[in-house]
Structure 1
Amino acid sequence: MSTQQKRSFAVIGLGTFGTTVASELARFNNHVLGIDILERNVANVAETLAEALIADGRDEQALREAGVGNYDVAVVAIGEELEANILCTMNVKMLGVPTVWVKAISRTHHRILSKLGADRVIQPEQEIGRHIAQMLHNPLVRDYVSLGNGFHVVDFRVPDGLAGKRIDALGLSDAFEVRVLGLMRGTEFISCKRTEEELQADDKLLLLGRREDMRRLGDSL
């Protein structure tokens, strides 16, 4: 059983993005408060979240009365209304919420929110767009996670041309500066310490490296 401590989240703005974030957090058994200015959006999550309130994120007093300042994390998911998004961010910061994540709609908006002290600024459309483009560009890349500073962990499907080769014979570290973290074969994880393991088609290599090095590897195959 997981011993991870649950946290409390206030999600302000219950459009598609905010509703998805709030519902998933609730599914992980966190206490989630959902807030939106529109009654229909609040009604959509009323049975999913611990609390759901109709309130205006621009109104500091309304957020105070809702108890937002007592939450561990605030997620400002207000979308197209730039003024409302910025004012809401200012309000949750003034209420003393320890961690604030905010949705941005442009690079300029991103800079403003960063100046206001947002702990994390998200541009979902751009981030998922880059993610999809990377996988479309190289069909061998099934998925990846950015670790920051240009490093990624990539779930890389082994092509037919590498079937039968040993992991230690690939020379990925020398030729591409890419490190093999492990191998998934079906539901079995094979440690990278077993370098004598022969690859099979459709095995999945877990690789660590920089984006440009991963691209060179993919292009070489």
Structure 2
Amino acid sequence: MSKRKRNFVVIGLGTFGRTIATELADFGNHVLVIDHNEDNINAVLDSVSEAVIADSRDEEALRQAGVGDYDVAVVAIGDEIEASVLCTMNVKLLGVDMIWAKALSRTHHRILTKLGADRVIHPEQDVGQHIAQMLHNPLVRDYLSLGNGYYIIDLHVPETLHGKTLDTLKLDEHPYLSCLGVIRGSKHIDFNESDLVLKQNDKLLLLGKRDELRDFSEGL
């Protein structure tokens, strides 16, 4: 049985909201977009399922747009905290099961959480931290936060490790660090192959606490 696709409403069509809406639509999801600006609506009209010009601060306008029938709402309003707060409150009142909302500050974050947002996002801050991590240590190609202080990192195997085995990394000396495997080209190689000989440009997938991952990667 194929997985049921969810339907999404994205409210606010700045760069952030527009990107989310069009990407979700590209995945084959039904996407409704709402913005008060006609030019913003016209910019994505051919890329999404439905588009409505409406004031997101108006609960009745959102009701008429059918927002309450959607599985997930993304409140992507960027620069107006009042509009973001009122929109989140309205979406919650209309009974949407899952709400993701963009925040501009910690105070804004707390308000959105109190109003019932299931996930609050700080796009600029999150991207900034992501880029800073990769700039700080060029061996870290990418990373993913799993919550509770745990991360997965995609570590570029440097020339100094070319021809060495996984055993030489002495991962067992790091209690909060484990190897999930090695990616070589398009092939995944299981980490249990301790005699695996590493090659430059392999991708080493590591799971662990942030400090442990940082200390390990900086020691390579």
Task: Give the TM-score category using the shorter length.
Answer: over 0.9
Shift of 1:41: 0.3
1:52 correspondence with 2:51: yes
| DSSP 3-state at the match of 1:198 | coil
Aligned twin of 1:100? 99
Q: Is contact 1:9-1:71 (8 Å) kept?
A: yes
What does residue 163 of structure 1 align with?
A: 162
2:179 is the counterpart of 1:180: yes
1:57-79 C-alpha deviation (Å, 9 max, x unpaired): 00000000000000000000001
Unaligned runs of 5+ in 2: none
Q: 2:184–2:203: 8 Å Cα contact kept in structure 1?
A: yes
Amino acid at match of 1:207: L
Amino acid at match of 1:181: L
Contact 1:176 1:216 survives alignment (8 Å): no
For normalisation by structure 1, the TM-score amounts to 0.97
Aligned-pair CA distance for 1:169: 2.7
Distance 1:189 1:218 in 2: 21
Unaligned runs of 5+ in 1: none
- Taking the aligned partners of 2:180 and 2:58, their CA distance within structure 1 comes to 49
Which amino acid in 1 is paired with 2:180? L
Q: Does 1:116 align with 2:115?
A: yes
Query: How far has the Cα of 1:176 moved from its partner?
Result: 6.3
What TM-score results when the alignment is normalised by the length of structure 2? 0.97
Aligned to 1:7: 6
Ranges of 4+ aligned residues in structure 1 off by more than 4 Å: none
Paired AA for residue 200 in structure 1: K
2:77 match? 78
Calculate percent identity across the aligned residue pairs: 59
The question of whether the paired residues in 2 share the 8 Å contact of 1:176 and 1:217 is answered with: no
Q: C-alpha distance in 1, partners of 2:199/2:38?
A: 54
How many residues are matched? Answer: 220
